[in-house]
A and B are shown apart, each in its own frame.
Chain A
Amino acid sequence: MKFTWFNLMPWPYLPDDFREKHRSVWVDIDSRLFDPAKANEVYNSYMDMLEYAGTMGFDGIGVNEHHQNGYGIMPSPNIIAAGLARRTSDVGLVVLGNSIALYNPPVRVAEEFAMLDCISGGRLVAGFPVGTSMDTNYCYGQIPALTREKYQEAHDLIRRAWSDPDPFAWNGRYNKLRHVNIWPRPIQDPPPIHIPGGGSVETYDFCIDNTYSYSYLSFSGYIRAKALMQGYWDRVAERNAPDESPYRAGFAQTICVADTDEEAERLYSEHVSYFYNRCLHVYGGFADAPGYRTIKTIQTGALSQYAPPIDGYSQLTWKDLTEQGHVIAGSPETVRQRMEDLIKGLNVGNIFCLMHVGNMPMDKCMHSTKLFAEKVMPHLRDMFPDYKDDNRFWCKPLKKQAKPGSLPAEKEVAALVGGKD
C-alpha cells in the first residue's frame, strides 16, 4: 500500500455565516475574507504539518492545484513542493497535480517537474489533472469544449519533452514551439503519473493505455465511490490490461483518528462540519461549464450517479457523514476496519489521506496523524501481497540523495586562498 498524507490547504478563517452571506467558496469568493498576514502563519503551519507527516512513515506527502478557492489556497503546488523537497527526505512528493492545459507553454510543467525531481532526488510523483471546471474554465478562462483537446496536446508535449534527447519542433494546434529542449531533465524516466478523474470512460482508457494510476479525488467517501471505481475496473478488464494491480488506482479519503469513537466526534466534528458546510459551498453555476464534459460522459449518467448528495452536504450530521463513509473517523480499530473495507471494496493501492480537515488546528491534526501512522497504517500494509513488488506507479528515488547543508565550513573556504576569513 502507498499512503500519501494530503493537504488541500483550506483557509481556516471563513466566518460562521459564510454560507448565508456568500454564494461561493470558489471563483468569486470575497477577497476581503483573505488576510495576507494570517496567511503567513497558515502556509507555514501547513508546510510544517506536511513535513511532520513526512517523518511519520507515510509513503508520500501530497499537494494539489486550485485557483480562487477558499478551501485550497495552493494555486501553485510546485512552490510548496519545492519547499518540502528541501526539508524532507525519503518521502515521496506527490504533486497531484499541475493542470497542464493551463500552462503556457506546457513545457513549463515539464521543466518545473524536472526541477522538483532533481532537487528531491527522484521523489516526484506527478499528477496531470484536466482541472475542475471552476479552476480551468471559470478562473483561467479556457474554452470548455476545447479544454480536453488542449489537455491532450499538453500531455503529449510534456511526455516528449521529457523523453526526446534532441531538440524538436512542436507544431501543435495550441502550441507552436520551434525548439523544445528542456533543461533540466527529470531523474525518473519518466516520473510516475497519476491522473485524477471523475468517471469518464475516456480518462479510464487514457490511464490504462499509458500505465498511469487513475485517482478518484472525491469528498464523498468510499461507499459512494464504488460504482465509479467498478466502472474503472470493468474497463481495465475489457481493455485487456496486462494485470489488475490495485496500484492502477488511487482514492482520496477524509480520515480522523482518536483514542475512541466518541473522542473522535468530540475532537473533530466541528472541523469536519466546517469543511462540508463552508468549504464545499460552491455556487452551482460554476460546477460544470457546458462543453467541459464530453457528451458520452453525460449520457452514461455519470454526473447524477456520482454526484454529491441531492441536498448538498450542509444537512449531514457527524453520524451521517461517518456512517455514509464521507468521513472515516473513530478509534484506530474502527478506522482500520473501515479502511480495509475501502481498500478491498475499491481495490485501490494508493490512498490519499485527507487528515487535515477544514479549520482543524495543528495539535489535533498531529494527534490524528500520529494515531493513524502508528496504530492503523501498519495493519494495512500488506493488503495486496500479490502486487507487493509493483513499483510502476510510485517514485524511485536515488539511493544516495544530496542533503541541504552541504556547504563546506567557512574555515575551509578561507583555506582555499591561504588567508584568514
Chain B
Amino acid sequence: METKTVKTHHVPVRYFEGGKGEPLVFLHGAGGITAEDPFLAELAKKYHVFAPLLPGYGDSEECGELREMLDITLHTWDAVEALGLKDPILVGHSMGGMIAAEMAAITPNDVSRLGLICPAGLWLDDHPIPDIFAMLPYELPAVLFHDVEAGTALMTAGVALDDPEWLKGFLVQNARQMGMAGKILFPVPDRGLSQRLYRVKAKTVLVWGDGDKLIVPAYAHAWKKAINGAELVSIPEAGHLMTLEKPEHVAKAISKLG
C-alpha cells in the first residue's frame, strides 16, 4: 500500500492506495488503520483499494469543523470525489461501516455496492454495546477479539508503558483518534441511522463475526431487516476485529459484491 494525500474542502486527507481492479473505498473503524493492514492487502488482490483516514487518524490533520454525523458523511463524500471516484464499491468496518451506510442512505443513487463489516450505528436496548470509551487498554482485547490471547499479543506489541515519551505519544494519538470517533460514537453510537436505512438502494453485503462481543450478532439481524435485500455472511470464530483475525474470510465475503 502506498501512503498518499489528497486535498479536500476542509483538510488534506491521508489515504492508502494499492492493488488493481475495480475501485473500492474502505472506511476504517474507530481504532484506525495502517498501511500494513492485512485486510487491505487481502482486498488489494482483487480491487484497486483506496482507504482514506478520517481527520485526526494516523498522521493526518485534525478537523475541528467536523462535529457531527452529517459533517463527517459529507466530508467522506468530498474525499471520494477528490480521489476522482464515481460509485466505487463502498466498504466500511465498525465506525467506518456506520459512515458508509450513512453515505448510501443520504445519496442512494451514488452507491450501488455496499459492504458493511459489523457496522456501528444501531442501538438495541436489549443488547447495550459495551462502552469502549470507558475501557482501559488492557480490557479491550476481551471485547474486540474472538481469540483474546492472540488479540492481546497483537495489541500490546510495541507498548512501552514505562517510557514517558511513548506514553505521551500514545495519549496524543488516542485523543486525536478516539476524540474524533467520539463525535459520532459517544456516548451511545446511534445518530438516527435506523430512520434512514430504508433509503439504501445498494446491493448490500453484511459481514459479521459469530464471536463479536462488542456489537453482538443480534445487530446483524437488525441491519439485515433494515436494508432491503441485504445478504448476511457470518464468519465463524471471528470477533469484532475480524479484519485482523480473518482477513481472507472477510475479503471473500466482500467479493460477493462483484
Contact = CB atoms under 8 A, between A and B. Distances in A.
B58 interface: no
Interface stretch (B172-180, B195-203, B228-236): B172-180
A141 to B, nearest CB: 5
Given A146-B67, A298-B168, A301-B168, A291 B175 contact: yes
Interface in A213-255: none
A145 B179 contact: yes
B6 interface: no
Interface stretch (A13-21, A203-211, A281-289): A281-289
B139 to A, nearest CB: 7
A137 B186 contact: yes
Interface residues of B, number: 25
B167 A304 contact: yes
B172 A290 contact: no
Interface string A128-158: 0000000001100101111001000000000
B217 to A, nearest CB: 25
Contact of B175 (A141, A286, A298): A298
A225 B248 CA distance: 54
Contact of A290 (B136, B174, B187): B174
A173 B67 CA distance: 10
A407 interface: no
A371 B92 CA distance: 66
A200 B164 CA distance: 19
A398 interface: no
Interface string B137-159: 00100000000000000000000
A271 interface: no
A285 B186 CA distance: 14
Interface in A294-337: 295, 298-299, 301, 303-304
Contact of B179 (A283, A290, A299): A290
Nearest to A144: B182
B178 A290 contact: yes
A293 interface: yes
B183 A145 contact: yes
Contacts of B171: 298, 303
Contact of A289 (B133, B167, B188): B133
Interface residues of A, number: 25
Given A291-B180, A293-B175, A143 B168 contact: no
Given A290-B179, A303-B171, A304-B164, A143 B186 contact: yes
Nearest to A285: B134
Interface in B50-76: 62, 64, 67
B129 to A, nearest CB: 15
A298 B188 CA distance: 26
Given A146-B67, A295-B175, A295-B176, A289 B168 contact: no
B164 A289 contact: no
Nearest to A140: B187
Contacts of B186: 137, 141, 143-144, 289, 291
Contacts of A284: 136
A145 B172 contact: no
A145 B136 CA distance: 19
A146 B183 contact: yes
Nearest to A291: B179
Interface string A8-42: 00000000000000000001000000000000000
B241 to A, nearest CB: 18
Contacts of A144: 133, 179, 182, 186
A138 B177 contact: no
Contacts of A289: 133-134, 182, 186
Nearest to A290: B178
A292 B182 CA distance: 10
Interface in B29-83: 62, 64, 67
Interface of A: 27, 137-138, 141, 143-146, 149, 173, 283-286, 289-293, 295, 298-299, 301, 303-304
Interface of B: 62, 64, 67, 133-136, 139, 164, 167-168, 171-172, 174-180, 182-183, 186-188
Given A137-B186, A144-B186, A285-B139, 5 more contacts: A137-B133, A144-B179, A283-B134, A290-B177, A291-B186
20 contacts: A137-B133, A137-B187, A138-B187, A141-B187, A143-B182, A143-B183, A143-B186, A144-B186, A145-B182, A146-B183, A285-B139, A290-B182, A291-B179, A295-B172, A295-B175, A295-B176, A298-B168, A299-B168, A301-B168, A303-B171
